[in-house]
Amino acid sequence: MTHHSSCEHSIIVRVTKPSTRAERRKAELRQDIIDTAFVCFAEKGYHATGIADIASILGIGHGTFYRYFSNKRDIIDHVIDDLAGRIVEALGTENAPDAATSLDDYRAQLDRIGVALDHILVEDRRVAQLLLFHATGIDDELTARLYGLLDMADALTAGYLSHGVELGYLRADLDTTNTAKAVTGMLIAGIVHGMRSPDTTAVNGLNEAIRRLLIDGVRKD
Amino acid sequence: MTHHSSCEHSIIVRVTKPSTRAERRKAELRQDIIDTAFVCFAEKGYHATGIADIASILGIGHGTFYRYFSNKRDIIDHVIDDLAGRIVEALGTENAPDAATSLDDYRAQLDRIGVALDHILVEDRRVAQLLLFHATGIDDELTARLYGLLDMADALTAGYLSHGVELGYLRADLDTTNTAKAVTGMLIAGIVHGMRSPDTTAVNGLNEAIRRLLIDGVRKD
Amino acid sequence: MTHHSSCEHSIIVRVTKPSTRAERRKAELRQDIIDTAFVCFAEKGYHATGIADIASILGIGHGTFYRYFSNKRDIIDHVIDDLAGRIVEALGTENAPDAATSLDDYRAQLDRIGVALDHILVEDRRVAQLLLFHATGIDDELTARLYGLLDMADALTAGYLSHGVELGYLRADLDTTNTAKAVTGMLIAGIVHGMRSPDTTAVNGLNEAIRRLLIDGVRKD
Amino acid sequence: MTHHSSCEHSIIVRVTKPSTRAERRKAELRQDIIDTAFVCFAEKGYHATGIADIASILGIGHGTFYRYFSNKRDIIDHVIDDLAGRIVEALGTENAPDAATSLDDYRAQLDRIGVALDHILVEDRRVAQLLLFHATGIDDELTARLYGLLDMADALTAGYLSHGVELGYLRADLDTTNTAKAVTGMLIAGIVHGMRSPDTTAVNGLNEAIRRLLIDGVRKD
DNA sequence: CATGAATGAGGGTTCATTCAT
DNA sequence: AATGAATGAACCCTCATTCAT
């Protein structure tokens, strides 16, 4: 992904920006390493992936790896950062928590967010696989980083909820912070089940149940 | 085997535990190994834990480990099994999904379950730490086992919901299966946050939010 | 196995031969261990055979082994000794090197020896397998013992040859000692080929070739 | 052995060996490992030799070993192959089975072969020690390989015999195949005795006895 | 700058041997 | 006397990391 296809309108550029070119190549390889590491970590797990695996997939010497990253431990940080960036970017446009002005708008927004999450987390199962299965428990520091991502998601959700409360289409006594945590939990449950069975109807059923539960609860009337 | 069998007021005892002393000691050590492995895996992670670590904590030679378990891989299975047993047992008494006959009963039951889960999962943070962080991604087979635990939780929750629908205090059109998955997700979110900050009031706030969301949703009226 | 369940027609026997009986049992088990060790060593090799293997085949605790033999190294000595005894015994009756009084007698004697060797070495391939494959290279001391067996065979053969020279049906200038070594080499070659392919006609062909070569050489006339 | 011998008169050499210096060094180390493993296996035996032993003799880290050979099991294959190559090479020049045209030529040829075998097998006792003592019984596959070497020797000898029969200086009714096996047995006996006592006159006596037995047999006239 | 050869700490596992029961 | 639980030395092998080329 994101190979940026190394644009070779070479000659002219080379004259004007000689060093930049090398730098660009470095940055490209750096990104390639991150991408490949992501794939390996997600598919085989952090511990089962060797530096040599990553290097040989890229066709580079494994010593080269250490020119771009100082550690095996180092790169997973960058993989996670990269991932976080991608997720934020994917949510980007419609993440404005003040976009919805009615309960119906809200429902629609939830749908859009669901679709966006599906896109990065379920469609490419590897993202969730890495975040939920293989990045856990490596390190206290990395765990803290994952918690940070969770907090981000919680905060985002809380923003939506607060907005709904302000606009009056959500309960006034809503504990937005804690409810947001609960909602995030449901979303992650959806992602996990989506990972297991990529069956669309099953996923849709769960998504619908989540939306319904979120808005109406389970109570009878 | 069955040495001496040291005739003790035989009949009654023999029914419950016909084991000799040696056998009992073996079983005890076996359980001690499981317990210690649980602690190590939960605190340091599966990969960071060596057989020698477990053995030296117990004060036994590391060769002894292999008299009780055939593998490093072998023992985590038993640790997980042991854990699953403990969880089931802890839920045991109040897990009857037909105990509640009204919405208020239901609320009370939710509280009790929450308390029980808290007891094993939050109070001893290591249980959740192992299940959610360190047991993931070791192995496809183990992952399947974890999914099995999740399914169990989902099924249990679905049972409660179905019962509520039957008795009429829950929505008749409730998609119990999928809703159960969402609910389990919320519960796990609660566990995760409980792990992070063992602050009782924070935990209680989240628990309350979950209950409220579950029953009433977020909608205004 | 062989627990004999301690048959207690005790009193009488115990009075007359109290120690002898126990001693006999000990000797029996001792021999059983040797026999089983022989089978294991021959079939799996010395290094691949564990003390526990031998013990479990016999149905005894592997600690018991050490009451009869001080070492793993110790027992192979006894296995080899036992084997040497069996071989000597098998050759026993017709091994008188002065039995033959003519070249025809000699031929017949060679046949008989061949049959006897076949019986212990080829028919039970394990004997040769142990001696030629699995007992070699364990130890300098054991190697010396094997060389001793070889010397014995050489000496035996040399005896036959000397007798033939004395009686005048073998060349007067025969270097009996060295020729005996060569002959033993041929015999062992026969045993090795017999081990590989237990095909009778093939073995007979080789045996015939050996006899012919021995007596007439390869020269034309 | 064969160290350095570094780049001489490049151009011509480059044709035969286009290898870079690094490649040559790799090949050299590889061969050094084989040679050292040969020495260790021959002197201490396969099981008593640790990878660390080989590595420390060479002054390399034991991890380096695994860059050149995948297994402990792997290297003995290469040691044996190397040995087989050396033996074939040593026999190479005079192994033409059609070189002899008379019985006297044949005798001379036998002498030359004996000398060649002596050179590699007796002079360096370790070759025979490895092949006959330490390489046996490691593995069914390796045993098969050793049998292959034996077959090779048998076939070679059979070639000589057939040639002699064709030229008419050996018995027309000679069973060349089986006789060859017997002859190989004698040769190996000679090697074994040469290993034990490197006394030249003793070895010569045995060699002479073998030649005499081979050609004339033991019969009186 | 890229490479990959070299390294050795570290870990899992086996098994001969001992000894309390 | 028999047992088998316990032991730990020993060994094979992996792989992250370094550094000379």
Residues C138-170 have pLDDT tens digits of: 989 999 999 999 999 899 889 888 888 888 888
- Partners of C219 on chain D (C-beta within 8 Å) are 103, 169-171, 215-217
Q: How far is the CA of D138 from the C1' of F8 (A)?
A: 26
Q: Which superfamily, per CATH, for B73-221?
A: Tetracycline Repressor, domain 2 (1.10.357.10)
* Cβ C18 to strand F below 7 Å: no
Contact B215 A214 (CB under 8 A): no
Backbone phi and psi for residue A170, each to the nearest 5 degrees, phi listed first: -120, 160
- Partners of C211 on chain D (C-beta within 8 Å) are none
- Partners of C132 on chain D (C-beta within 8 Å) are 136
Which CATH code fits D76-221? Answer: 1.10.357.10
Tokens describing residue D66: 């695994």
Three-state SS annotation for A94-139: HHCCCCCCCHHHHHHHHHHHHHHHHHHHHHCHHHHHHHHHHCCCCC
Burial classification of residue C84, based on how many CB atoms lie within 10 Å of its CB (0-12 exposed, 13-18 middle, 19 or more buried) = middle
Per mean pLDDT, which range of C66-75, C187-196, D72-81, D192-201 is the poorest? Answer: D192-201
Q: Which nucleotide is nearest to B30 (CA to C1')?
A: F5
pLDDT recorded at residue B8: 44
pLDDT recorded at residue D131: 94
Averaged pLDDT for residues C186-204: 88
Q: Which superfamily, per CATH, for C1-69?
A: Homeodomain-like (1.10.10.60)
What pLDDT band is residue A57 in, cutting at 50, 70 and 90? very high
- Partners of A208 on chain B (C-beta within 8 Å) are 175, 178
What pLDDT band is residue C80 in, cutting at 50, 70 and 90? very high
Count residue pairs from A and B with Cβ separation < 8 A: 158
CA distance A98 to A119: 23
Which residue intervals of chain A bear CATH 1.10.10.60?
1-69
Q: How far is the CA of C143 from the C1' of F1 (A)?
A: 35
Among B46-60, B145-159, C185-199, D195-209, name the most confident range: B46-60
pLDDT of A217 above 80: no
pLDDT of B99 above 50: yes
Contact A208 B175 (CB under 8 A): yes
Averaged pLDDT for residues A145-156: 92
- Find, in chain A, the residue whose alpha carbon is nearest to that of B168: A220
Q: Which amino acid is at D182?
A: A
What pLDDT band is residue A8 in, cutting at 50, 70 and 90? very low
Residues B34, B75: contact at Cβ < 8 Å? yes
What pLDDT band is residue A148 in, cutting at 50, 70 and 90? very high
- Find, in chain B, the residue whose alpha carbon is nearest to that of A170: B220
Averaged pLDDT for residues A179-189: 94
Interface test with C, best of D151, D177, D213, D214 (most C CBs within 10 A): D213
pLDDT recorded at residue D106: 76
Please state which CATH class domain C75-221 belongs to: mainly alpha
pLDDT of A23 above 90: no
The residue whose CA lies nearest the C1' of nucleotide E21 is B22
Q: Which nucleotide is nearest to D65 (CA to C1')?
A: E6
pLDDT of C123 above 50: yes
Among A92-106, C79-93, D7-21, D100-114, name the most confident range: C79-93
CA distance A141 to A77: 9
pLDDT tens for B127-169 read 999 999 999 999 999 999 999 999 998 998 898 888 888 888 8
The residue whose CA lies nearest the C1' of nucleotide E7 is D61
- Partners of B210 on chain A (C-beta within 8 Å) are 178, 182
* Cβ B107 to strand F below 7 Å: no
The residue whose CA lies nearest the C1' of nucleotide F9 is B63
Q: Which nucleotide is nearest to C22 (CA to C1')?
A: F1
pLDDT recorded at residue C2: 40
pLDDT recorded at residue A199: 83
pLDDT of C54 above 90: yes
* Cβ B47 to strand F below 7 Å: no
Q: Which nucleotide is nearest to C48 (CA to C1')?
A: E15
- What is the architecture of the domain spanning A79-221? Orthogonal Bundle (1.10)
How many C-beta atoms lie closer than 10 Å to residue A182's C-beta?
A: 31
Contact C214 D218 (CB under 8 A): yes
Q: C-alpha angle with apex D103: D102 to D108, nearest 5 degrees?
A: 95
Averaged pLDDT for residues A89-102: 69
Report chain C's mean pLDDT, rounded to a whole number: 84
Handedness of CA B139, B140, B145, B147 (dihedral sign): positive
Residues A38, A125: contact at Cβ < 8 Å? no
Contact B178 A103 (CB under 8 A): no
Tokens 């490419």 -> residue:
A124
pLDDT recorded at residue A13: 47
Tell me D219's DSSP state: B
Q: For the domain with range B9-69, which CATH number is right: 3.40.50.970, 1.10.240.10, 1.10.10.10, 1.10.10.60?
A: 1.10.10.60
User: B: neighbours with 3+ CB pairs under 8 Å?
Assistant: A
Q: How far is the CA of B67 from the C1' of F13 (A)?
A: 23
* Cβ B67 to strand F below 7 Å: yes
What pLDDT band is residue A5 in, cutting at 50, 70 and 90? very low
Q: Compute CA D73 distance to the chain's CA centroid, rounded to the nearest angstrom.
A: 20
pLDDT tens for B1-24 read 444 444 444 444 445 555 687 888
The Cα of B73 is separated from the nearest Cα of chain A by a number of Å equal to 14
Which among A46, A134, A181 is the nearest to B189, CB-wise?
A: A181
pLDDT of A90 above 70: yes
Which among A143, A169, A174 is the nearest to B133, CB-wise?
A: A143
More confident residue, B82 or A20: B82
What pLDDT band is residue C114 in, cutting at 50, 70 and 90? confident
Which residue intervals of chain C bear CATH 1.10.357.10?
75-221
pLDDT of C191 above 80: yes
- Nucleotides of chain F in contact with protein CB (under 7 A) are 1-21
Which among A132, A150, A217 is the nearest to B216, CB-wise?
A: A217
pLDDT of B204 above 50: yes
Tokens describing residue D215: 């050609």
* Cβ D19 to strand F below 7 Å: no
- Partners of C189 on chain D (C-beta within 8 Å) are 181-182, 184-186, 188
Contact call for D and A: 3+ CB–CB distances under 8 Å: no
Interface test with B, best of A201, A218, A219 (most B CBs within 10 A): A218
Which among D189, D213, D220 is the nearest to C217, CB-wise?
A: D213
pLDDT of C17 above 60: no
Contact B181 A206 (CB under 8 A): yes
What pLDDT band is residue C12 in, cutting at 50, 70 and 90? very low
Tokens describing residue B131: 């299940």
Averaged pLDDT for residues B107-131: 79
Contact B220 A133 (CB under 8 A): no
CA distance C127 to C148: 16
- Find, in chain B, the residue whose alpha carbon is nearest to that of A194: B181
pLDDT recorded at residue B3: 45
pLDDT recorded at residue A95: 60
Residues B221, B195: contact at Cβ < 8 Å? no
Maximum alpha-carbon separation in chain C: 77
pLDDT of A195 above 70: yes
Averaged pLDDT for residues A47-68: 96
- Nucleotides of chain E in contact with protein CB (under 7 A) are 1-21
Which among D138, D161, D220 is the nearest to C218, CB-wise?
A: D161
Report chain A's mean pLDDT, rounded to a whole number: 84
Residues A189, B184: contact at Cβ < 8 Å? yes
pLDDT recorded at residue D17: 55
Q: How far is the CA of D50 from the C1' of F12 (A)?
A: 9
The residue whose CA lies nearest the C1' of nucleotide F2 is C64
* Cβ A62 to strand F below 7 Å: yes
pLDDT of C78 above 90: yes
pLDDT recorded at residue D10: 46
CA distance D55 to D50: 9
CA distance A156 to A149: 11
pLDDT recorded at residue A6: 44
Q: Which nucleotide is nearest to D21 (CA to C1')?
A: F21
Which residue intervals of chain A bear CATH 1.10.357.10?
79-221
User: D: neighbours with 3+ CB pairs under 8 Å?
Assistant: C
Residues A136, B138: contact at Cβ < 8 Å? no
Contact C178 D103 (CB under 8 A): no
Backbone phi and psi for residue A219, each to the nearest 5 degrees, phi listed first: -55, 155
Per mean pLDDT, which range of A173-187, C196-210, D173-187 is the poorest? Answer: C196-210
Averaged pLDDT for residues A113-125: 74
pLDDT of C68 above 70: yes
pLDDT recorded at residue A180: 94
Residues A146, A80: contact at Cβ < 8 Å? yes
Per mean pLDDT, which range of A61-75, B44-58, C49-63, C111-125 is the poorest? Answer: C111-125
Burial classification of residue A206, based on how many CB atoms lie within 10 Å of its CB (0-12 exposed, 13-18 middle, 19 or more buried) = buried
pLDDT of A200 above 90: no
pLDDT of C130 above 90: yes
Contact C182 D215 (CB under 8 A): no
Which pLDDT tens digits describe chain D residue by residue (221 residues)?
A: 444 444 444 444 445 555 677 888 899 999 999 999 999 999 999 999 999 999 999 999 999 999 999 999 999 999 999 999 988 887 766 566 666 777 777 777 777 777 777 777 766 789 999 999 999 999 999 999 999 999 998 998 898 888 888 888 888 999 999 999 999 999 999 999 988 887 889 888 998 899 889 888 777 66
CA distance A22 to B62: 53
- Partners of B44 on chain A (C-beta within 8 Å) are none
Question: If we measure between CA atoms, which residue out of D175, D217, D195, D132 comes closest to residue C183?
Answer: D217
